[in-house]
Amino acid sequence: MYSVTVSDHIMIAHSLRGEVFGPAQRLHGATYVVQVELHRPDLDADGIVVDIGRAADALRRVLADLNYRNLDEIPAFAGRNTTTERLAREIFERLVASIRGGELGPGAAALERIRVTLHESPVASASFEASVNG
């Protein structure tokens, strides 16, 4: 399996419901480094997984709607804790929509899996990984 990885970052605000979250129940900010791995079994005719520039641009567009926002106010998270894990899945789903919309070019149709990792700090991260077609 081949892969290409692109990264960017976002700054968000959110709060979390439940005693398990302690002080994070209050509104607070976070900066995430977002890393996306795009996987496919074979390279395309040009010898690449997907155009890295297009992948980076697509990630930037997906993150633009989340950057400098209070995640508690975004409809996709209504009634749900805006955990790092849920945010990783939301970014995954938005990237899949970008692929299906042709934003990563025709070669992206052969992508099989995407893994989205959000790094909360140098020592903590959370990921979501799934099939593009599943």
Helix, strand, coil in percent for the chain, rounding step 5: 35, 35, 30
| Residue 24 DSSP label | G
pLDDT tens digits for 22-70? 888 888 999 999 999 999 999 999 999 999 999 999 999 999 999 999 9
Q: Which domains does the chain have, with CATH numbers?
A: 2-131 (3.30.479.10)
pLDDT tens digits for 41-50? 999 999 999 9
Q: Check residue 46 and give its pLDDT.
A: 92
- 86-90 average pLDDT score: 96
Q: How confident is the model at residue 78 (pLDDT cuts 50, 70, 90)?
A: confident
Alpha-carbon gap, residue 57 to 39, rounded angstroms:
17
In DSSP terms, 6 is beta-bridged to 36
Given a contact cutoff of 8 angstroms between Cβ atoms, the answer to whether 95 and 64 are in contact is no
Among 75, 49, 55, 48, CA closest to 8: 55
pTM listed for this prediction: 0.93
